[in-house]
C-alpha cells in the first residue's frame, strides 16, 4: 500500500481507483492517510462518486466509523463496480427472494462503518428490517444484476480509463467469462493508444490476456507488487 499512499498524497483528485472487490480495505487505508494530516485525500462517502447520495447510516460504535463525513466528489475516487459490503438495501425478510435481492431499483444505503457488515437487523416501526449488502455476484451476464446507482459508476470508470495517462492493473486476472469487465477495459484502454499500462500478476496467462485486450503501445508486466514498487521509485 506504500505506492497507493504516495500517489494519493501527490494529487488526490488525479487518482481513480477502480475495484471489483467488496471489502473495505482501501477505504481504511485512505482514511488512515487522511487522519495523518492529509485531509484532502479521503472524503467519505464522497469518494464513492454515487450521484444523489446525501446521507449515510451511522453505526453504533464510534471506533467503527470513518473519521468524518463529506459528500463532496473530491479527493481520491473509489469506484466499486461490484458494490461494497457497506452498501445495503432494506428487506422485510432475512431471506429475500432473488428478485428482491437483485432489484436494480431498490434503495441503496451507505453505512458509515469500517467493518464488514454481512447482515444487519434493525427494528423500525415495530417490525424488523433486514439490511443486505448491495453487491454483484461473480457470474457471467451480470448486467441485469447491476444496481442502477452502480451503472453510473461504470460510466465514470470508463471515462477515467479512457482519459488516463497511466493505468495500473493489480489483483485482477481478467477471467474470460467476465465479459462486462473485459469490454470496459478493452474499449477504454484503446481510446488512448499512447497510455502506459502496468499489469501486476504472477501468472503468464493473465499477462497474455491483458496484452491481447489492451491494444496500447506501452505495457509492462510485473510478477509482484514489490517489483512494481521498486521499479517506480525515483
Q: Is residue 107 part of a domain?
A: no
Count helices and strands (H / E) in the chain: 7, 10
Burial (0-12, 13-18, 19+ Cβ within 10 Å), 63: exposed
Q: Is residue 217 part of a domain?
A: yes
Local mean pLDDT, 10-residue blocks, the chain (234 residues): 60 91 93 88 95 84 81 95 92 88 90 80 78 84 85 96 92 85 90 85 84 81 87 61
Express each pLDDT in 3-34 by its tens digit: 555 665 678 888 999 999 999 999 999 999 88
* pLDDT (0 to 100) of residue 37: 85
DSSP 8-class letter at 12: G
Q: Is residue 180 part of a domain?
A: yes
Question: DSSP string spanning 44-70?
Answer: TBGGG--TT----EEPS-GGGS-S--B
Q: Is residue 175 part of a domain?
A: yes
Count of domains forming the chain: 1
* pLDDT (0 to 100) of residue 119: 67
* pLDDT (0 to 100) of residue 46: 96
Residue indicated by cell numbers 463529506? 70
* pLDDT (0 to 100) of residue 78: 97
Q: Is residue 197 part of a domain?
A: yes
Q: Is residue 64 part of a domain?
A: no
Q: Is residue 124 part of a domain?
A: no
Q: Is residue 202 part of a domain?
A: yes
Task: Domain of residue 174: give its range.
Answer: 164-229
Contacts with 7 (C-beta within 8 Å, 6 or more apart), sequence order? 15
Amino acid at each position: 500500500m506504500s505506492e497507493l499512499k504516495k500517489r494519493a498524497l501527490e494529487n488526490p483528485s488525479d487518482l481513480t481507483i477502480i475495484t471489483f472487490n467488496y471489502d473495505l480495505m482501501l477505504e481504511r487505508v485512505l482514511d488512515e492517510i487522511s487522519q495523518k494530516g492529509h485531509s484532502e485525500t479521503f472524503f467519505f462517502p464522497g469518494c464513492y462518486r454515487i450521484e444523489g447520495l446525501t446521507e449515510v447510516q451511522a453505526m453504533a460504535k464510534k471506533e467503527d466509523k470513518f473519521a468524518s463525513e463529506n459528500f463532496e466528489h473530491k479527493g481520491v475516487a473509489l469506484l466499486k463496480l461490484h458494490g461494497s459490503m457497506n452498501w445495503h438495501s432494506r428487506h422485510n425478510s432475512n431471506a429475500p427472494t432473488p428478485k428482491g435481492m437483485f432489484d436494480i431499483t431498490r434503495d441503496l444505503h451507505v453505512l458509515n462503518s469500517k467493518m464488514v457488515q454481512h447482515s444487519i437487523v434493525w427494528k423500525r416501526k415495530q417490525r424488523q428490517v433486514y439490511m443486505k449488502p448491495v453487491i454483484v455476484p461473480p457470474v457471467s451476464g451480470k448486467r441485469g444484476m447491476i444496481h442502477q446507482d452502480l451503472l453510473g459508476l461504470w460510466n465514470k470508470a470508463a471515462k477515467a480509463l479512457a482519459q488516463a495517462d497511466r493505468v495500473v492493473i493489480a489483483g485482477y486476472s481478467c477471467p474470460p467469462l467476465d465479459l462486462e469487465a473485459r469490454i470496459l477495459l478493452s474499449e477504454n484502454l484503446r481510446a488512448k493508444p499512447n497510455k502506459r499500462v502496468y499489469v501486476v500478476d504472477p501468472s503468464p496467462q493473465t499477462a497474455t490476456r491483458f496484452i491481447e485486450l489492451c491494444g496500447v503501445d506501452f505495457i509492462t508486466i510485473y510478477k509482484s507488487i514489490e517489483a512494481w514498487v521498486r521499479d517506480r521509485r525515483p
